[in-house]
Amino acid sequence: MVDILHKVGVEGSSINDVYAALTTLDGLSGWWTDDTTGDPTVGGVLQFRFEPGGIDMKVLDLQPARRVVWQVVDGPDEWAGTEIVFDLKQDGDDATVLFKHQGWQEPVEFMHHCSTKWGVFLLSLKSLIETGKGAPAPRDIKIDSWN
Amino acid sequence: MVDILHKVGVEGSSINDVYAALTTLDGLSGWWTDDTTGDPTVGGVLQFRFEPGGIDMKVLDLQPARRVVWQVVDGPDEWAGTEIVFDLKQDGDDATVLFKHQGWQEPVEFMHHCSTKWGVFLLSLKSLIETGKGAPAPRDIKIDSWN
């Protein structure tokens, strides 16, 4: 089992703002993909749609201003059985996000792609909160021929 | 042992161009850090310097247009014993880089930071080759309070 890890710090921000961007349809559609629907409460399922396909996440755990956990319930085969964890903490004036996409079976090429792509989307989250403007799909930065 | 993985595709490019950017002082200083010195041949040691500190890498393996391997010989404590691997392949018109920073002892917070930061630098490498202009330190994108 292998994991993708990332960290971004959101300058001059509160973890409450980050938590809102991770737990509301409006927030999520501002940094990950425009096409975000579903139920963002615990036990609900969120539908994230992209040009190449879609991902459904079940909301497993919500600890306000502290932690958000999603379980992948539909999406690319390689994502089956994986979980996404956002751990939040306040570092002075900055809100820090520690991100993990955990439980990959093998470090396949698609995992390399997803790691870089998650970094791009987390910088979009940072930008959304710092400037009011993120770069969600389909306006995200393309990193390779897979998008 | 845990690894950082990334992938970028350099559009309309040859893996020879990517290989040159990974194996010459001029190339390396165009995407990772302005302050790059040392011997880029096998067995040589490269010195990469940044505002917060520096990293020395021994060049372990060079396979033209295919693979570059560095061993960390000096740098942050958490990097001791780790290796950096760049695997290159041609995907039609694109040159693909599969990156690995392998052999971390523990998935510490600094590893999360370095993962996101490597993604930023690999996008700088992509940009350098595609446009002639990278964003090496100190002009790199800051991702958190650690830089």
Mean pLDDT of the residues in chain A: 93
The rounded distance, in Å, linking the Cα atoms of A52 and B24 is 37
- Name the residue among B8, B91, B112 with its Cβ closest to that of A5: B112
Closest CA to A2 of A70, A82, A90: A82
What is the nearest CA distance from A86 to chain B, expressed in angstroms? 12
- E-assigned strand segments in chain B: 2-10, 35-38, 45-50, 53-63, 67-74, 83-91, 94-104
Question: Tokens 């992209």 label which residue?
Answer: A50
Is B6 a residue whose pLDDT tops 90? yes
Whether A145 has a pLDDT exceeding 90, the answer reads no
pTM above 0.90, yes or no: yes
Contacts of A4 in chain B (CB under 8 A): 5, 115
Are A111 and B8 a contacting pair at CB < 8 A? no
Region B48-71: mean pLDDT is: 92
Instruction: Count interface pairs A-B at CB distance under 8 A.
Output: 95
pLDDT tens-place string over residues A36-66: 999 999 999 999 999 878 999 999 999 998 9
Give me the residue from B3, B91, B119 closest to A119, CB to CB: B119
CB within 8 Å: A115 and B115 = yes
Interface confidence (ipTM) of the complex: 0.92
Residue type, A4: I
CB A29 within 8 Å of CB A134: no
> Is the CB of B2 less than 8 angstroms away from the CB of A7?
no
How does residue A2 score in pLDDT terms, banded at 50, 70 and 90?
confident
